[in-house]
Amino acid sequence: MKNKLLTGAAIALLGPVISSSISSSAHAETGEGVKLGLGGYFKGYISYVNQDEGAGSGARKFDILRTTEVHFDGKTTLNNGLTVGTHIEGQADGDDSFFVDESYLFFSGNWGKVNLGRTYGTPYLLQVVAPAADSNIDGRLQLIQPINFAASGLNPAIFTSSYETDYDHDISAKVDKFSYITPLFSGLQFGLSYTPDASGTSRGASGNATKNDPAQRSDIWEGAVR
């Protein structure tokens, strides 16, 4: 795993919020700035399924199922104790294309943690997960789905849009939001998230999103206690 040192220009990746809130005297303790680490995963399965099929449709009994992600992570702790960082996550197997799935910056300290950008809300982040035989298939977030519901003849409306059967609490999905998670208080932790618009579209240069759009959810508040 190699770390790539961000140059002065690349530090803009962390956004104007960081550059405006950190004074010139609050340098990182190492003096090297923020580094991005390269990571991710490949999950591959050889799948055998013998399922019921609808009229005029069918599913292969043997197939190869896979999901791949590429991650870029970096953080540093300043002399004032504030930890700042970023997480960028790309889906490499999204319909044979590559797209950014998560992209956010965070601040943390003994006062808690703040996330800003495209990621999950606090109900997902604080969710208590049940044990699973294989968390990729029957866990909180299903990454591998061996059953072809589209070929089964069942009504796909009873499943999620991608025919997943998981139970993750991603109420507002992975779109731009602001989240705050408290530190532990006598074993309890609280979280609150606000999502202005659930369209999930990056708007770096196109201005604020339109409001009163009946096709989109907006002003979403989420909370969680663990």
pLDDT tens for 120-129 read 999 999 999 9
pLDDT digits (tens, 9 = 90+) for 57-76: 777 889 999 999 999 999 99
Q: Which residues contact 185 (CB under 8 A, 6 or more apart)?
A: none
Give the tens place of pLDDT for each residue, 139-186. Answer: 898 888 888 877 776 665 665 545 667 788 888 889 999 999 999 999
pLDDT the model gives residue 194: 96
Q: What pLDDT sits at residue 12? A: 34
Place of tokens 């989240």: 179
Percent residues over pLDDT 70 in the chain: 73
| Closest among 78, 97, 68, 100 to 87, alpha carbons compared | 100
Residue 2, pLDDT score: 40
Predicted structure pTM score: 0.75
Residue 150: predicted pLDDT: 74
Residue extents of the structural domains in the chain: 37-201+213-225
According to the model, what pLDDT value does residue 32 have? 64
pLDDT above 60 for 31: no
b/e for 14-53, b at 16 or more Cβ within 10 A?
beeebeeebeeeeebeeeeebbbeeeeeeeebebeeeeee
pLDDT tens, 78-118?
999 999 999 999 998 766 678 889 999 999 999 999 999 99
Strand partners, 195: 220
CA-CA distances (angstroms) from residue 155 to 52, 56, 146, 149, 151?
A: 13, 15, 17, 8, 10
Of all residues in the chain, the percent with pLDDT exceeding 90 is 45
